[in-house]
Amino acid sequence: MGHRLAAMPHRTIKAPEVRKGQAPETLKRDQFHERFMQSFQDPAFQAEKGALQRIELIAWEAYQEGRKAPVTRKAGLGHADPDYELSVDWLEARARIDAAQAAWSQAQTKSRVLLVNGSPRNDGTCPGEISKSWRLLQLAREVLDGCGIDVDVLDLSLLASDYGRHIHPCKGCVSTAMPLCHWPCSCYPNHAMRQTGDWMNEIYERWVAAHGVILFTPTHWYQSASPLKLMADRLVCADGGNPDPTSTHGKKPDEAKALELQGWGYPKHLAGRVYGVVVHGDVAGAESLRRNLSDWLDWMGLVDAGAQARLDRYIGYYEPYATSHDSLDADEGVQEEVRNVARAVALAVGELRAGRLQAPDRGLKSPRPK
């Protein structure tokens, strides 16, 4: 699993100070008990009170000892430190990503487009109704199916309706030093902190396997909906992330800082995929959100499928929320524009894979890589 990163010169190699003093003290035993029992408020659990007490003691010991990754094995050949114990969760995720990348690179692999529903709303939980983003996604899916493209639908609304499914927040390791941000993310699962059930290892694999990606999102307070933002933040490791956690011996900030200052290549692990964006709103913010998402995907090295693949529209402008689906029913123009997003992405995927579509600036080196 060897990965060589092209080193970039840096002006200084002086080891910077690792700043400390923000994190609070760890939980006291009674505080831990209160947190642990929050998941067992149903009176039905009282029948197993003794068993819960025994399980809580194990969890308390894991928390005290910081057993983030209780199941590990040696990293092996191809790593900076082959004897370093890496999380089996991470190693298995990395193997799946490598396999997806290998398949993506093969000409005989069928073209694949990932459709991402960024809305948190579905009819399986509190809103009681499907989202407009979901309906728009289905229009694109029909077009891509008709083009003979494999379609992978990533419905982020499942974060709000599926049992135990999470995208935990990005911890910002990249701001300490880029090499501390591992590809894929090694921050989760953290079993000692009960930060489990994280969806991202599967999501990384699905992004890597895709030749094209289309995002669908409503506008929430001038921003993307929270499920989409959670995913986007956790994809930071795809833009410059370190494919070898043994080079920083896990999360050693001083080692990561030194490694970045020696010269870091900031590899773009998702570069070369095509993208489209569909943003909708009802009052304000859709245009700026579309620009934000497009800029983000450009930065990560994805290739836009043209102006018609970057869409922002208002559906039911200043009309009641209660009739917003009726407004979408009546807006045949926006429906056809969404189909054109899918058509543009399908065409661009074909052109890109045939070698006829390339980013004009692909050979240029940035004087300020990051």
pLDDT in tens, 239-271: 999 999 999 999 999 999 999 999 999 999 999
Mean pLDDT computed over every residue of the chain: 95
Of 316, 277, 317, the residue nearest 137 (C-alpha): 277
Tokens linked to 256? 């990561």
- What is the residue-level pLDDT of the chain in tens, covering all 370 positions? 444 455 555 555 678 999 999 999 999 999 999 999 999 999 999 999 999 999 999 999 999 999 999 999 999 999 999 999 999 999 999 999 999 999 999 999 999 999 999 999 999 999 999 999 999 999 999 999 999 999 999 999 999 999 999 999 999 999 999 999 999 999 999 999 999 999 999 999 999 999 999 999 999 999 999 999 999 999 999 999 999 999 999 999 999 999 999 999 999 999 999 999 999 999 999 999 999 999 999 999 999 999 999 999 999 999 999 999 999 999 999 999 999 999 999 999 999 999 999 888 888 988 988 8
pLDDT in tens, 301-329: 999 999 999 999 999 999 999 999 999 99
| Start-to-end Cα distance in the chain | 24
pLDDT score at 358: 87
d(CA 153, CA 169): 22
- Sequential DSSP letters for 138-200: HHHHHHHHHTT-EEEEEETTHHHHSTT-B-PPP--GGGT-GGGSBSS--S--BGGGTB--B-H
**Residue the block writes with tokens 């060589």:** 4
The single-letter code of the amino acid at 123 is: D
What is the set of domains in the chain, with CATH numbers? 49-353 (3.40.50.360)
Residue 326: other Cβ atoms inside 10 A: 12
d(CA 43, CA 45): 5
